[in-house]
Amino acid sequence: MKLDQIIQGLEKLLIKNNYSPQTIKFYKREWKKLELFLIDNYSSTEFSFDKGLAYLEKQYGIVSKYIDGTISQQRIQLLRVIHLLSDYQLHGVLTRRYTASRNQIHLSDEYAVIFNEFLNYLKENELSYSTIKHYSHISKVFLDYLSQKQVTDIFTIDLAICNSFIKTFSNFSFKTIEQNICGLRYFLRYLHFKNKLTVDLASKIHMPAISKTRSIPSVWTAEELTQLLKAIDRNSPLGKRDYAMILLACILGIRSSDIKNLKFDNFDWENKRISFIQHKTKKPLSLPLPNEVGWAVIDYIRNGRPTFYDTHYIFIKHMPPFDPFSEGNHLNDIIRRYMNKAKIPATKNRHSGFHSMRHAAASLLLEAGTPLPIITEILGHSNPDITSIYLKTDINKLKECVLPLSFDDETFNIQ
């Protein structure tokens, strides 16, 4: 397909979707440079994704800099210049790999009604904030895709249309594809349940098989965790808070969403237990409270927490108005801050968010000889199969999983 043919159709979609004149001008300027590159190097304006990458490499060195990790975020955005062309060439639509605030998706009246009804349905089912956000996003993107394909009646969609939409996920990571298909199936089940579809299309769309090369959760060694914890100033109020939160994650494996929601009545100090309803699964979880973790929380409450009595949440922000953490705050900046202080490198192949502490907890439990079913219970997983991916971090330990669970000082030396 010739470059000018792609640009002609794509420019109409950019205008229709309220892209700013400045953004469109930027894209057209880069596409003009690309056209000259194609003529000079291939004697033709026939476009392909590989040719687009070759242009970015020659013009900006993007591929080489991405591989060695020296590329800036601003330069990475130039990939969008090529992705737009490639996606339109393959699918004939303006794909929504992300939605900028200035380029919101605007649905037709009929599809807007369907979307709002679905959003209310999600909220009524008490799903987590992140799940609602993901399912609502993928449903809106799907409805936008239907509009661009000029499918104006929801009753007419079929498996072929759904599969063509799934193809737009190309070049996404396996995990993202898996999550998007899960969200699409949920939306299709809803449409069938509400009699907006006569066929249960969700049952005909199968989840992709787990990739044999699926990434193994990156874990922290005991030395790295010690290095990270030592970088925290435990004499400051903020340090006391962060230290307690990180211990809850790396020793007990508690999710960041649950740590943010912990309240005073979740702690049974007399019996040394912590109990709460998990934010993600809505299932209760009760865990023993190791002395190190318990004293860290007590130290924060007594000596670090701002004097603030209008909330029962334990962990709050340390800037006025001292609110609890928001739903969308995954606490990742906290880990990265102390990684920088401890001079622990954050490479692109390594997870460095708060959830990586949960991976560390699973690994530490495994190295301590904890049986897999007990690790499953501690992490709050619904079945051992979910936890088994952590076993890939040290397969030799699998033969040694016979010791009872222990949180004594010998097993977890965090001083």
- Name the strands in the sheet holding 267-268, side by side, starting at the edge strand that comes first in the sequence: 267-268, 273-277, 284-288
The domain segmentation of the chain, as residue ranges, is: 3-100, 105-204, 222-400
DSSP letters spanning 138-185: HHHHHHHHHHHTT---GGG--HHHHHHHHGGGTTS-HHHHHHHHHHHH
DSSP letters spanning 270-327: TTTEEEEE-TTT--EEEEE--HHHHHHHHHHHHHTS-S--S--BSSB-SSTT-PBPPT
Band of the pLDDT at 383, cuts 50, 70, 90?
A: low
Of the listed ranges 9-23, 155-169, 278-292, 371-385, the one predicted with least confidence: 371-385
Pick the CATH number of 105-204 from 3.30.1540, 1.10.150, 1.10.530, 1.10.540: 1.10.150
Averaged pLDDT for residues 190-215:
78
Query: Looking at the predicted structure, is the pLDDT value of residue 407 above 60?
Result: no
Confidence at residue 187, expressed as pLDDT on a 0 to 100 scale: 96
| Fold classified for 222-400 | hpI Integrase; Chain A (1.10.443)
Confidence at residue 398, expressed as pLDDT on a 0 to 100 scale: 40
Band of the pLDDT at 298, cuts 50, 70, 90?
A: very high
Confidence at residue 382, expressed as pLDDT on a 0 to 100 scale: 66
Query: Looking at the predicted structure, is the pLDDT value of residue 296 above 80?
Result: yes
* Rounded percentage of the chain residues whose pLDDT exceeds 70: 80
DSSP state of 396: G
Of the listed ranges 117-121, 230-234, 317-321, the one predicted with least confidence: 317-321
Confidence at residue 394, expressed as pLDDT on a 0 to 100 scale: 52
Confidence at residue 70, expressed as pLDDT on a 0 to 100 scale: 62
* Rounded percentage of the chain residues whose pLDDT exceeds 90: 33
Q: For residue 222, what are the CA distances in angstroms to 41, 186, 230, 236, 415? A: 53, 40, 12, 24, 11
Query: Looking at the predicted structure, is the pLDDT value of residue 68 above 70?
Result: no
Confidence at residue 405, expressed as pLDDT on a 0 to 100 scale: 33
Averaged pLDDT for residues 201-212:
71
CA distance 292 to 228: 16
Q: What is the pLDDT of residues 89-111, one digit of tens each?
A: 888 888 765 555 556 788 889 99
Confidence at residue 307, expressed as pLDDT on a 0 to 100 scale: 80
Q: What is the mean pLDDT of the chain?
A: 81
Q: For residue 347, what are the CA distances in angstroms to 234, 293, 339, 413? A: 27, 29, 11, 27
CB environment 119-145: b (16+ within 10 A), e (fewer): eebbeeeebeeebbebbbbbbbbbbbb
DSSP letters spanning 14-44: HHHTT--HHHHHHHHHHHHHHHHHHHHHHSS
For residue 268, the surrounding DSSP H or E stretch is: strand 267-268
- 145, 13 Cβ separation under 8 angstroms: no
Confidence at residue 387, expressed as pLDDT on a 0 to 100 scale: 64
Nearest in space to 315 (alpha carbons), one of 306, 324, 307:
324
Take residue 150 and report the two structure tokens written for it: 């000029």
DSSP state of 267: E
- 14, 27 Cβ separation under 8 angstroms: yes
Query: Looking at the predicted structure, is the pLDDT value of residue 6 above 90?
Result: yes
Higher pLDDT, 407 or 131: 131
Query: Looking at the predicted structure, is the pLDDT value of residue 162 above 70?
Result: yes
Given CA atoms 190, 193, 196, 202 in this order, what sign does their dihedral have?
positive
Band of the pLDDT at 47, cuts 50, 70, 90?
A: very high
Q: What is the pLDDT of residues 225-273, one digit of tens each?
A: 888 889 999 999 999 999 999 999 888 888 888 999 999 999 999 999 9
